[in-house]
Structure 1
């Protein structure tokens, strides 16, 4: 495998890693929103 191919694969892996980090953060935000809504819904039912 030549150096150019290795560099391309390295860049791709770095981009994938960044995408995964962004996705995880988005999911955390969604979970926080759901938790807030669930708490609010429970208070309304009580």
Structure 2
């Protein structure tokens, strides 16, 4: 029985770590998307100004 509890605890901890990693990756991707949008907007403005 205790082996099962250890396995469940270990799996739960790993799931938490993976969820944290996925969240951090999503936040980073969102920041990159915001930066890219600003850069594309600036580029379009500069092309229209020509």
Q: How far has the Cα of 1:42 moved from its partner?
A: 3.2
Q: Structure 2: give runs of 5+ residues left out of the alignment.
A: none
Q: Please give the TM-score of this superposition, normalised by the length of structure 1.
A: 0.76
Q: Structure 1: give runs of 5+ residues left out of the alignment.
A: none
Q: CA RMSD in A?
A: 1.7
Q: 1:19 aligns with which of 18, 22, 25?
A: 22
Q: Return the index of the structure with the highest Cα Rg.
A: 2
The size of the alignment, in residue pairs, is 46
Q: How far has the Cα of 1:2 moved from its partner?
A: 1.2
Q: Please give the TM-score of this superposition, normalised by the length of structure 2.
A: 0.71
Moved over 4 A (4+): none
